[in-house]
Amino acid sequence: MSSNKNLLVELFVEELPPKALKKLGEAFGAALLAGLRTQGLAGEHSALNVFASPRRLAARVSHVLPVAHDKAVSQKLMPVAVGLDANGAPTPALLKKLAALGADAAVVPTLKRQPDGKAEALFFESLVPGATLAAGLQVALDEAIAKLPIPKVMGYQLEDGWTSVNFVRPAHGLVALHGADVVPVKALGLTSGRQTRGHRFEAAVDPVMLLDADHYERQLAEQGAVIAGFPERRAEIVRQLAAAAAAQGLQPIDDDALLDEVTALVERPNVLSCRFEPEFLAVPQECLILTMKANQKYFPLLDAEGRLTNQFLVVSNIRPADASRVVQGNERVVRPRLADAKFFFDQDRRKTLESRVAGLAKVVYHGKLGTQGERVERVRAIARKIAAALGGEALAAQADRAALLAKADLLTDMVGEFPELQGVMGGYYARHDGESEAVAFAVEDHYRPRFAGDALPRETAGAAGLVVALADTRETLAGLFGFGQLPTGDKDPFALRRHALGVIRMLVERDLPLAVPRLVADAFHAFPEGHGQAQAEVAHFLYDRLVGYLREQGYSAHEVDAVIALRPDRWGSLPARLAAVRAFAALPEAPALTAANKRVGNILKKSEGAPVTAVNPALFAEPAERALHAALADTAPRADAAFERGDLTASLQALAVLKSPVDAFFDTVMVNADDAALRQNRLALLGSLHAAMNRVADLSRLAA
């Protein structure tokens, strides 16, 4: 029988923080496996199974040895000249070193001589016994516990009343089984065994005596009424939610974060159908959904059109024969929450958004940037300029009105209770106040995109939403960059990277005809004169984020580099430029032309910039010069015409015919001729070639 067996380690604890459970389980398992591999007890073929439930962190590692293999170790002692005298006898220094290693002069003849730099050194080779599983697991377990990403450490005393332990929650049991054998280890004041606990109320057996590492999840399910695996428990919740919703012709709300959190709250999921009074549906569904999700961890049910119904699903942790009391209890609990939301909604509508604007002057936005009222005026100023460029006075008026009202919902009771609804509630209240749909949409959407992958402001009622969203993000970037509040490392407390990505997405995906340098400058002009000027830093930050955004769209580093190297002002053209570059790179002529373009660029750079004279055909002395000039005269207008009409792919592909004349030019023409007029004329010709080839992108960046 093979000595390789599966190893199970479980920490049984009090209820773990649900939002951290999944990460804790994965980290515990990964660290344990890494520690066992470091000790030589697990190999590359050892598989890992992680288990995480509200009251346990566990991992099973396959093919774990009871004793690691002995390891040959070669240790450098000292240079030969230092360790041996002229007669080859060991020196006192060598004998002292050997004694420290537990050896004596008898091993000197077995020492190996190997080159070490310019000299030879003596090496002592020995066989280190492999670690036992008990010793190796102890080290791995200690490291795994120490490395856990615990959100907040909790201190508690052990049963002796004196010893204090720090961990995420008090631990009450430790299991360590190698096959069916208990591995003697200690952790958090506990000694390992084979005993664990199941469900608090519904376990068929308590405690559960584990037979071996392989029966862990089966015994917990059958005897402990617990689904130990996080993915398995989550899948069971998803299955039950779908079945319960389908039975009513409805669908549960799609929310991965809520699913993960509920999975971390229950050990034995049981989905139950509940309902609330239909009159609460008069409240905006975003409010009802949020209060059910955030406060109660319920799953609201939607109809086929995505509208909220008065039915919801509860994931209970118990399975009573008669679940009616559980259903009634949850229905009773949710009612006051929904009543609060209705009260806030009714109270808020008694005052118009416009009447709340004055109150923003008393709300501090940032210690160095003044109040929300001052911020609103800056956003209005920026929005008016953007709107005027995009749609004239009509759009400017809509955007100005929306920017005036955009932050007013911060003073409402509903947003005070649920900050996540800022903007959303502003849209509802704007419609109630009789504002136009364009203004209501803009107020609602001006925070978008709120997160990676979120939708951009809608164009349902015009572009006012885009304008105010752009203005709001520009004001934020200019304001915070103006006094040096830049993101550093993984710290970005004001979500400036998200703001920058929002600007990029709006400019690129909506193809807005706006120049980025102008946008940056206008944002800074909205601030008082004493505000720091950091236009260059903001522009660099945006271009840096732009590169990452384009790479995420599937473009290569060379393609993105070629396009961004020209620092284009209007980013709406970037997808077309990148597509053109990709199509050009696929041409058989592309490698030669990109290499030639790089060579031309280097020649012009060494000649201190662009030529100061026009090309004079009368000075041509070589046939290759005339041929290149003629080809360029024929090709450049066609490439330029395609560029001007927006067909960037055709513009670049038109250059393919230049390969032969360019190759001939460099094969037969000496650019740096002794005659100054001849040299200057050839540089001017190369300057024309360089300009024609690099309107869409810097093609030299495609050269290998």
- The CATH code of the domain that includes 595 is 1.10.730.10
* Rounded Cα distance, 384 and 377, in Å: 11
* Statement to judge: residues 62 and 78 lie in one domain: no
Per-residue pLDDT averaged across 300-308, rounded?
A: 95
Domain-ending residue, one of 128, 152, 169:
128
Q: How does residue 1 score in pLDDT terms, banded at 50, 70 and 90?
A: very low
Per-residue pLDDT averaged across 106-130, rounded?
A: 84
The model's pLDDT over 502-534, given as tens digits with 9 standing for 90+, comes to: 999 999 999 999 999 999 999 999 998 878 788
Domain that holds residue 646: 574-702
How many helices and strands, by DSSP H and E, does the chain display? 25, 20
Q: What is the pLDDT of residue 104?
A: 84
* Rounded Cα distance, 575 and 511, in Å: 9
Give the Cβ contact number of residue 552 at 10 Å.
10
* Statement to judge: residues 107 and 150 lie in one domain: no
Is 316 strand, coil or helix? strand
* Statement to judge: residues 192 and 79 lie in one domain: no
Does the residue 141 lie in any domain? yes
Q: What is the pLDDT of residue 461?
A: 63
Per-residue pLDDT averaged across 433-462, rounded?
A: 89
% of the chain surpassing 70 pLDDT: 99
The model's pLDDT over 174-183, given as tens digits with 9 standing for 90+, comes to: 999 999 999 9
The model's pLDDT over 385-394, given as tens digits with 9 standing for 90+, comes to: 999 999 889 9
Lookup: tokens for 686: 């190369």
* Statement to judge: residues 414 and 470 lie in one domain: yes
Lookup: tokens for 582: 């990709």
More confident residue, 213 or 609: 213
* Statement to judge: residues 315 and 248 lie in one domain: yes
Does the residue 320 lie in any domain? yes
Instruction: Please give the mean pLDDT across all residues of the chain.
Output: 91
Q: What is the pLDDT of residue 612?
A: 62
* Statement to judge: residues 636 and 688 lie in one domain: yes
Domain-ending residue, one of 315, 348, 381:
348
* Statement to judge: residues 441 and 539 lie in one domain: yes
* Statement to judge: residues 162 and 36 lie in one domain: yes
Number of domains in the chain: 5
Does the residue 356 lie in any domain? no
Q: What is the pLDDT of residue 60?
A: 97
Q: How does residue 609 score in pLDDT terms, banded at 50, 70 and 90?
A: low
* Rounded Cα distance, 466 and 400, in Å: 12
* Rounded Cα distance, 126 and 470, in Å: 69
Residues 357 and 309 sit within 8 Å (Cβ to Cβ)? no
* Statement to judge: residues 545 and 433 lie in one domain: yes
Domain-ending residue, one of 518, 553, 588:
553
Does the residue 353 lie in any domain? no
Does the residue 357 lie in any domain? no
Most confident option among 152-166, 205-219, 599-613, 670-684: 205-219
* Statement to judge: residues 18 and 151 lie in one domain: yes
* Statement to judge: residues 375 and 493 lie in one domain: yes
Angle among Cα 271, 272, 277 to the nearest 5 degrees reads 140
Does the residue 355 lie in any domain? no
Does the residue 655 lie in any domain? yes
The model's pLDDT over 334-348, given as tens digits with 9 standing for 90+, comes to: 999 999 999 999 999
For 33, how many CA atoms within 13 A lie in the half-sphere containing its CB? 21
* Statement to judge: residues 423 and 533 lie in one domain: yes
Q: What is the pLDDT of residue 204?
A: 94
More confident residue, 79 or 349: 349
| Least confident interval from 292-296, 494-498, 605-609, 663-667 | 605-609
Does the residue 569 lie in any domain? no
